[in-house]
Structure 1
């Protein structure tokens, strides 16, 4: 008999675990749909791709310059009159300037990528929270309907007692008042369900009326790390901090760019002159075109004020990002503590309201039995019934709040 009982418990736990796993896989599928379809996330990814296209733009040499000249009055030379000239020149910046510019653009693009990743993490948090809220409203509707049925039973019982002359019609009217309140609350829950359904489906960018599958009992997510490790993980993995780090690297490279911009630039050119024939010349190179290679030039940055300002600007931008990172870490530390508080509070409320619900059910059963035999404890029955409804709703709300806090923890560490 004992072995059979253990088997029942074992298979019951196994079934519950499989249902929870199935439910979590459903949510994972919703997250995948949101990642693929959400328009705001698509826009953020396009911003990143656009930033990546900056890299080849800044890492390329300036376009070569071609010049053409035609002599209206051709100057005479020994080998013939000059008709036209062609010049081709190419400018070369100081060594390492282009690669430094590429590093700046690459780091800024990486910062944009972290913005995209942060948007994705935030979207996942919003989807999870919307899913948990939809689960709660489904359970709230179910619990409220169950309590309506309890009051309906109590109403029928009061009618029997009124007909037998053992109770006052006031009892029935009080039940009616309670039923009216519950039906009004149920109507509000149904309206709220429609709103939450639209919100969830909009996050997934699909039809407003698409069905949302929720479990019969929501699983409980946990925080995997202890407090100190969790905070360290946030500082290392949070996408907002990563974005700031990439911007800081970009401005460090921007300082290198500014310094190299203040160094000379080189110009190398080619010249070609078209020469006509001199009819009176017997030279062997009569009418031969002239090719000049190379011509070398140097651009000297004499006005140093501009380049000094560029270097100072880059340093100020670095200081700004360092301060911004420190401020973000402080903010995230505060948010983490508050989220941990909400997670722990959810845990406590789940346990508390679970116990309170069990006690309230027992008390209600006793009072219902007592009321069926005499007219006492009528108000107490209604009070306990209201408490039972409150505890059941609060337990489900605590469950969704705990999971929402765990989901926000995932967002903080960039999941």
Structure 2
């Protein structure tokens, strides 16, 4: 059995800080390609784009004149002889046309209101694009962490299998107790339980990623390659400045403010009348040689009397409230951006330090502790519980290391969505 003990020692001495058990036959997923697929296929993003196009088409409608009105009529006809147009000199066949003209400046302002509303939806499309990128990246790195956890569990199951062999060997020669065997078997079952849960979580995350990409939930999501984290090179103030300049939702609120301002000017114009210009041509039949029945015309202008001032004052108040609402929503968003940047930068710094601590300190120390505990257990210097505790410690640190790696990238994706552009 000495060869078995030597094999166990060699196995632990070769434990690396970042173990790799990638299945090379399985293709690696490419994050930029996944993001582009989502942007090309996602139906919610397409719906947002269609909504923007819909409001764009309202601009021309708002700036256009109303259709002219064509009028055909018989005027002053004789009831007793309705189709005899030559019986009375006042009977006329009339054709007329009229056109509504809004007060000067109203059409331009209506077009500006529609244009600013369309612009707000245009920035909403970009905002939805940012959110979609963030969700794809978060799902991607969550799957990465699940895969790494599964690899760590598989490695630990193999380690526990060696523990079981070691405990059984010591028990068979009278140097151990049967309870050690039972403890190791129980720990192996616990690892299998964790594996079942993680496999279910991966299936759920894969289905969620496929939904974002608008593809079948059964499409297999491949392995995700390892990566290195890069510390941020921008300060919080630089990120805030970038966010205020680039965040689409802020630009959307700005467009809504400008829409409200144009609406306010339009409401002021409503205190002035609109005009309707009408022209009519009246044809009369000749009655006799004495009554020639000369043709006639009429030209007139009508306009409304804007005396319902309560309605117009309410329209002014509505536009003022719209401006205030959009302004305060923009201020609230800026406040959230400022806090979010500070919070995310603190979390990123925490994760970066943890990654460095795990990589250069805790993981190698835990691996050495496990190796030492294995050697000591073989020569009966420590009990089996100490050996299991050393393995659990290394197991937890390895998972926390990859959790920090994945969480760093997810927080970075959230920061990019908050700022409005990629910052790495």
TM superposition score normalised by structure 2? 0.86
Deviation per residue, 1:57-76 (Å, 9 max, x gap): 21111221222221432899
- Give me the CA root mean square deviation: 2.4
Moved more, 221-230 or 109-118: 221-230
**Which residue, 114, 123, 128 being the options, matches 1:105?**
114
Partner SS for 2:140: helix
2:267 match: 258
Q: Say whether residues 1:66 and 2:67 are aligned partners.
A: no
Partner SS for 1:91: strand
Q: Say whether residues 1:382 and 2:388 are aligned partners.
A: yes
Deviation at 1:313, TM superposition (A): 2.0
1:85 match: 94
Moved more, 335-344 or 383-392: 335-344
2:22 match: none
Note the 1:292-371 alignment, pairs <5 A. 292=298, 294-354=299-359, 355-371=361-377
Q: Say whether residues 1:156 and 2:156 are aligned partners.
A: no
In structure 2, C-alpha distance between the alignment counterparts of 1:79 and 1:31, rounded to whole Å:
81
1:5 match: none
Confirm or deny: 8 A CA contact 2:41 2:213 kept in the other structure: yes
Q: Which has the higher helix share?
A: 1
Partner SS for 1:34: helix
1:12 match: none
Deviation at 1:209, TM superposition (A): 2.1
Note the 1:30-41 alignment, pairs <5 A. 30-41=34-45
Q: Say whether residues 1:270 and 2:279 are aligned partners.
A: yes
Confirm or deny: 8 A CA contact 2:103 2:273 kept in the other structure: yes
Confirm or deny: 8 A CA contact 1:166 1:375 kept in the other structure: no
Partner SS for 1:301: coil
2:47 match: 43
Confirm or deny: 8 A CA contact 1:82 1:273 kept in the other structure: no
Compared with structure 1, are the counterparts of its residues 82 and 117 closer, same or farther at alpha carbon in structure 2 (3 Å cutoff)? same
Deviation at 1:136, TM superposition (A): 0.7
In structure 2, C-alpha distance between the alignment counterparts of 1:126 and 1:48, rounded to whole Å:
22
Deviation at 1:250, TM superposition (A): 0.2
In structure 1, C-alpha distance between the alignment counterparts of 2:69 and 2:225, rounded to whole Å:
73
Partner SS for 2:65: coil
TM superposition score normalised by structure 1? 0.88
Confirm or deny: 8 A CA contact 1:38 1:204 kept in the other structure: yes
Q: Say whether residues 1:400 and 2:409 are aligned partners.
A: no
1:195 match: 204
Runs (4+) of structure 1 moved beyond 4 Å?
74-81
Count of matched residue positions in the alignment of Structure 1 and Structure 2: 390
Partner SS for 1:53: helix
Partner SS for 2:408: helix
